[in-house]
């Protein structure tokens, strides 16, 4: 197949591009050439800016376009409008953040979606990210009626994960010793390896699939405690986990960077999303230990170490936790 990938060189897009090339597809990458521009010599590369610089795509035809880096409805709408006669279908990588209420457990693709107070905002932050993605999805659906495939992953992890959200926890476990673990070991945890998301995306393109899928999670139930134990076992470290209660953590003025990926129980629905539709459509997820192993190997060589508690703050919190009534 002849595929156009918008982005395609950073984390999820990188895995999608790699998967498509390995399967023998013809790939054209459209991006600004600012991230990993030396990757993928086998792909055609078109330089341009999605925001007002799409002219280089005119007059071309593709079997499908895969939009990996669409965040603003105006920008996504412009891409979809230009390409609606140039591609058979449009694949939009969205997010589980489109859902309105994460206090609800087990939501499927029909759950209510987030709505922005100001639908014209172009500020992308924790308050607007999900609502903006909703509007991006709607723009794609308008331009490609019955020809759109929308994939909604949650937390994506694995090699090349520049966010450092799950990697920071796994890296901390490898240092051993007394470690602050957030909340309860029995709390649910859900993520997807970026390579599995990429494989599913390309699978669905090859099958000319359409529709909306929660492309997230594993085929089996996972908890925070089980995940941390797997890291400890796999790396052979001796880590003493102290599972620190939510009430204590809320009182400590901690940032999301201090406790990356952690969700308090009133928002833990983000880790219980219903992925049955995607699994039935062929989503395959590799063993968690494989993801952990490969991620830590990559992290040791070239990872981005930017999140997590520093050692002094962590031990300070642990002393306060153990001294609390």
**Dist. CA 187–CA 209, nearest whole Å:** 34
Give the model's pLDDT for residue 219.
80
Pick from 160, 171, 131: nearest CA to 8: 160
Other CB atoms within a 10 A radius of the CB of residue 279 amount to: 18
Binned at pLDDT 50, 70 and 90, residue 140 comes out as very high
Pairing, β 211-213 against β 156-157: unpaired
Binned at pLDDT 50, 70 and 90, residue 193 comes out as very high
Q: What is the DSSP letter of 56?
A: G
Give the model's pLDDT for residue 229.
98
Pick from 292, 281, 173: nearest CA to 222: 292
Give the model's pLDDT for residue 118.
96
What element of type H or E holds 196?
helix 194-206
Reduced DSSP (H G I as helix, E B as strand, rest coil) percent helix, strand, coil of the chain, to 5 = 40, 20, 45
31 φ/ψ sector (left φ>0, alpha ψ -120 to 50, else beta): beta
**Dist. CA 195–CA 291, nearest whole Å:** 9
**Dist. CA 115–CA 98, nearest whole Å:** 9
Segment 245-303, tens digit of pLDDT = 999 999 999 998 999 999 999 999 999 999 999 999 999 999 999 999 999 999 999 99
Percent of the chain with pLDDT over 90: 97
Across all residues in the chain, what is the average pLDDT? 97
Q: Are 281 and 204 in contact (CB under 8 A)?
A: yes
Give the model's pLDDT for residue 218.
85
Give the model's pLDDT for residue 86.
97
Query: How far from chain centre, in Å, is Cα 92?
Result: 13
DSSP-derived 3-state class of residue 4: strand
Give the model's pLDDT for residue 220.
82
Pick from 260, 239, 262, 261: nearest CA to 318: 239
**What is each CA distance from 325 to 243, 265, 298, in whole angstroms?**
15, 21, 41
Give the model's pLDDT for residue 325.
79
Phi then psi dihedrals of residue 212, to 5 deg: -120, 135
Segment 275-286, tens digit of pLDDT = 999 999 999 999
Segment 115-136, tens digit of pLDDT = 999 999 999 999 999 999 999 9
Residue 30, beta-bridge partner list: 6, 46
């Amino acid at each position: 197949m002849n595929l156009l990938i918008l982005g395609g060189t950073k984390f999820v897009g990188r895995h999608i591009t790699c998967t498509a090339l390995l399967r023998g597809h013809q790939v054209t990458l459209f991006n600004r050439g600012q991230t990993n521009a030396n990757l993928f010599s086998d792909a055609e590369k078109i330089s341009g800016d999605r925001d007002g610089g799409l002219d280089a795509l005119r007059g071309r035809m593709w079997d499908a376009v895969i939009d990996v880096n669409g965040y603003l409805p105006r920008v996504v709408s412009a891409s979809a409008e230009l390409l609606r006669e140039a591609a058979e279908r449009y694949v939009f990588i969205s997010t589980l953040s489109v859902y309105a209420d994460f206090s609800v457990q087990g939501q499927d693709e029909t759950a209510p979606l987030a709505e922005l107070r100001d639908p014209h905002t172009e500020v992308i932050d924790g308050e607007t990210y999900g609502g903006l993605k909703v509007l991006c999805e709607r723009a794609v659906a308008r331009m490609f009626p019955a020809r759109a495939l929308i994939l909604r992953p949650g937390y994506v992890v694995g090699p090349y994960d520049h966010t450092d959200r799950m990697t920071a926890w796994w890296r901390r476990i490898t240092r051993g010793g007394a470690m602050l673990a957030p909340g309860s070991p029995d709390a649910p945890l859900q993520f997807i390896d970026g390579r599995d998301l990429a494989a599913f995306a390309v699978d669905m393109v090859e099958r000319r699939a359409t529709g909306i899928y929660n492309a997230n999670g594993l085929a089996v139930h996972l908890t925070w405690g089980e995940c941390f134990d797997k890291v400890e076992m796999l790396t052979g470290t001796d880590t003493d986990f102290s599972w620190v209660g939510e009430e204590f953590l809320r009182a400590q003025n901690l940032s999301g960077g201090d406790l990356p990926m952690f969700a308090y129980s009133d928002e833990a629905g983000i880790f219980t999303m219903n992925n049955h539709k995607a699994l039935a459509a062929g989503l395959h997820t590799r063993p968690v230990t494989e993801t952990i192993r490969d991620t830590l190997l990559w992290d040791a060589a070239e990872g981005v170490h930017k999140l997590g508690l520093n050692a002094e703050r962590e031990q300070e919190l642990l002393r306060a936790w153990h001294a609390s009534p």
